[in-house]
Amino acid sequence: MHKVFVITLLMSISITVYAEEASQNRFITLGTAGGPVASAERSQPANALVVNENLYLVDAGDGVAGQLSKAGFLLQDVDGLFISHNHFDHTGGVLAVLGLRAQVNTTNTLEVYGPPGTRTFIDGLLKSMDPAMKAAYGMPGPPWQANIEVIELSHGATVELEGLAVMVAENSHFLIPEDSDLPEKAKSLSFRFDLENRSIIYTGDTGPSEAVVELAKGAELLVIEMMDIDAVLAGVRNIFPNIPQHQFDGLEWHLRAHHLLPQQVAEIAVNAGVGQVVVTHMAPSITDDEMAGHYKDEIARTFDGQIVIANDLDSF
């Protein structure tokens, strides 16, 4: 009887400890708006990845500092930033991250990971901060320090961090038309975060991509963008009824090549064999449960796993 009690107690402690450890590993959708137009209901694209005692930002759209505070974190707690691509709806909050860290004299090094061009982007932001950093609080003493290290990544790159392995794939967000005979202007990345207890894929902005499917193989959680392209195009026609046809055609090509329809989200999830789909960066913006249910039903026609249309500050 005593042995049974001890074994039961040990099992209970083990389950509790595992649950506490698992709860420390979270992916939080800080901002779920589809860019680049600002939304009154949703913050710009940004996410937080919590791995044990470490905190990483995954994209940092406008308002990310405030969203972090709402999620219960301090800006100086951030250990690293992963940038999927250098579009301003995903990077508009980076200046605040860098500048406010300096202003509160944060001493830990912030590692910034992103595609080629990220170093130029960060160097430009640091240059813009130079007058404020020199002035500091206008009192005798040294200027503020940014303490930033930039690591540019390309397809197939890996990053090893404490309790976290990161794999990188170039996706199709900056795909160039085949008949243009022009090189790609920029790179857009998707990330696989392998934690001790699960794997999380973050696509960033992407169109259909076999590289994303391969990256996501067997992952538990797929955090993925989605767009109702017909609805977006109808909105453009409504706002700009006199838009030249060639401009409209170019916009349509861009949307269909560089973003994902609900059916394409489902196909990536099925082909990769993921367990759960979390939709973020949705355009047009989800405004009510009925609208969210409609898009969930579209994905569910092909994918039979769990589907969540994310809201700001949801945690997974």
Out of 183-187, 256-260, 268-272, 273-277, pick the least confident.
Answer: 183-187
Q: How many other CB atoms sit within 10 Å of the CB of residue 122? A: 24
Q: Mean pLDDT of all residues in the chain? A: 92
List the one residue out of 40, 122, 42 whose CA is nearest residue 81.
122
CA torsion 24-152-101-105 (nearest 10°) is 110
Tokens of 270: 């099925």
For residue 11, pLDDT beyond 80 = no
Strands 199-202 and 189-195: antiparallel
What is the per-residue pLDDT for 4?
Answer: 38
Contact of 30 with 55, CB cutoff 8 Å: no
Where are the alpha helices (H) located in the chain, listed in sequence order?
A: 2-24, 64-70, 88-91, 94-103, 118-135, 210-216, 229-239, 245-258, 262-272, 289-300
Q: Model pTM greater than 0.85?
A: yes
Tokens of 130: 């130079």
For residue 10, pLDDT beyond 50 = no
- What's the rounded Cα separation, in Å, for the pair 268 and 277? 10
DSSP string, 167-223: EEEE-STTPPPGGG----S---EEEEEEESS-EEEE--S--S-HHHHHHHTT-SEEE
List the one residue out of 164, 160, 172 whose CA is nearest residue 204.
172
Tokens of 61: 């759209």
Strands 110-114 and 26-31: unpaired
- Domains in the chain, ordered, with CATH? 24-315 (3.60.15.10)
DSSP string, 245-268: HHHHHHHHHHHHHHS--HHHHHHH
- In the chain, the percentage of residues whose pLDDT exceeds 70 is 93
pLDDT in tens, 141-163: 889 999 999 999 999 999 999 99
- What's the rounded Cα separation, in Å, for the pair 15 and 291? 38
Q: How far is CA 51 from the centre of its chain?
A: 15
pLDDT in tens, 70-117: 999 999 999 999 999 999 999 999 999 999 999 999 999 999 999 999
In terms of Cβ atoms closer than 10 Å to its own Cβ (0-12, 13-18, 19+), residue 48 is buried
For residue 17, pLDDT beyond 60 = no
Tokens of 107: 């001493």
- What's the rounded Cα separation, in Å, for the pair 265 and 278? 10
What is the per-residue pLDDT for 7?
Answer: 35
Contact of 205 with 173, CB cutoff 8 Å: yes
For residue 302, pLDDT beyond 90 = yes
**Residue with tokens 């982007």, as numbered in its chain:** 121
Q: Which helix (H) or strand (E) holds 292?
A: helix 289-300
According to DSSP, the residues that pair with 55 across neighbouring strands are 50, 78
- In the chain, the percentage of residues whose pLDDT exceeds 90 is 86
**Angle of helix 118-135 relative to helix 94-103, nearest 10 degrees?**
30
Query: Three-class SS of residue 91?
Result: helix
With vertex at residue 269, the alpha carbon angle to CA 67 and CA 254, rounded to the nearest 5 degrees, is 70
Contact of 299 with 262, CB cutoff 8 Å: yes
What is the per-residue pLDDT for 214?
Answer: 98
What is the per-residue pLDDT for 257?
Answer: 94
